[in-house]
């Protein structure tokens, strides 16, 4: 009802019908913004750290609020998206969107072809059933091996847990692509704004997959 004061913090209402004002001024939703950061190893995906460790917010734009879309652990590097639009981020992260994420992983010692096939089939580890994934060898240098993983789910430390089940040590883990969006030539610590076309491409792919699954 017009003029009604809402004091319940859990009160729901359709945002497209709401006019929000602060001190008499109309508050409009900001334009969606998405940046792509090449996260270096050793940086935490958090705004602050009580132990004084480095965080990604030392690297990215200070212009406005941005939150990470998903995570990369401290020892991992590569593509990390940040946005000011939580709803868009949630669509992208929906496990039913099947938006593939591609990683290059250096391990020691190498896996045999049959071990790679076992992991790719989607094993059950510590009571957790993993979905099938794509794994291929990129190159093998004797004591170490580079593999490419393509995942369609984003379980916490998934690749590390899979490789740990095979008693393999992860030396490097780099996320190089999300959907059709690739890390490209960005160096560790560098970032760039995504174009409207790139944002639409990611959103369109995720939205289509979620919609197909729902029907």
**Is the predicted pLDDT of residue 214 greater than 70, yes or no?**
no
Give yes or no: residues 91 and 105 share one domain: no
Strands 77-83 and 169-178: parallel
Determine the structural domain holding residue 200 and report its residue range.
34-95+186-214
Token duo for residue 56: 């990604």
The residues annotated with a catalytic role in the active site are 73
CATH number at residue 163: 3.30.70.1560
Tokens 């059950």 belong to residue: 124
User: pLDDT confidence of 61, banded at 50, 70, 90?
Assistant: confident
First to last CA, the chain: 35
Give yes or no: residues 71 and 127 share one domain: no
CATH number at residue 53: 3.30.70.580
User: pLDDT confidence of 66, banded at 50, 70, 90?
Assistant: very high
Instruction: Give the span between the Cα atoms of 49 and 74, in whole angstroms.
Output: 12
Number of domains in the chain: 2
Give yes or no: residues 72 and 105 share one domain: no
Give yes or no: residues 139 and 204 share one domain: no
Instruction: Give the span between the Cα atoms of 87 and 93, in whole angstroms.
Output: 10
Put simply, whether the predicted model's pTM sits higher than 0.85 gets the answer: no
pLDDT per residue over 145-192, tens digit each?
999 999 988 788 999 999 999 999 999 999 999 999 999 999 999 999
pLDDT at 17: 59
Residue 1 in any domain: the answer is no
């Amino acid at each position: 009802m017009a003029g009604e004061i809402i004091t319940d913090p859990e009160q729901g209402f359709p945002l497209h019908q709401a006019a929000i004002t602060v001190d008499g001024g109309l508050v409009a939703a900001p334009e969606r913004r998405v940046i792509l950061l090449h996260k270096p190893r050793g940086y935490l995906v958090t705004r602050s750290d009580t132990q004084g460790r480095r965080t990604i917010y030392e690297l990215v734009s200070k212009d406005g609020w941005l939150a990470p879309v998903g995570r990369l652990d401290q020892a991992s590097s590569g593509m990390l998206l940040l946005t000011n639009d939580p709803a868009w981020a949630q669509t992208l992260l929906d496990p039913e969107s099947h938006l593939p994420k591609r990683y290059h992983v250096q391990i020691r010692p190498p896996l045999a072809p049959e071990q790679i096939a076992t992991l790719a089939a989607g094993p059950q580890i510590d009571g957790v059933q993993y979905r099938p994934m794509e794994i291929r060898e990129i190159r093998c240098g004797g004591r170490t091996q580079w593999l490419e993983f393509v995942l369609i789910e984003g379980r916490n430390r998934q690749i590390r847990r899979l490789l740990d089940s095979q008693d393999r040590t992860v030396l490097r883990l780099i996320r190089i692509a999300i959907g059709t969006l690739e890390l490209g030539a960005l160096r560790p610590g560098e970032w760039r704004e995504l174009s409207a076309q790139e944002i639409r491409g990611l959103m369109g792919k995720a939205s289509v997959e979620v919609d197909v699954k729902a029907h």
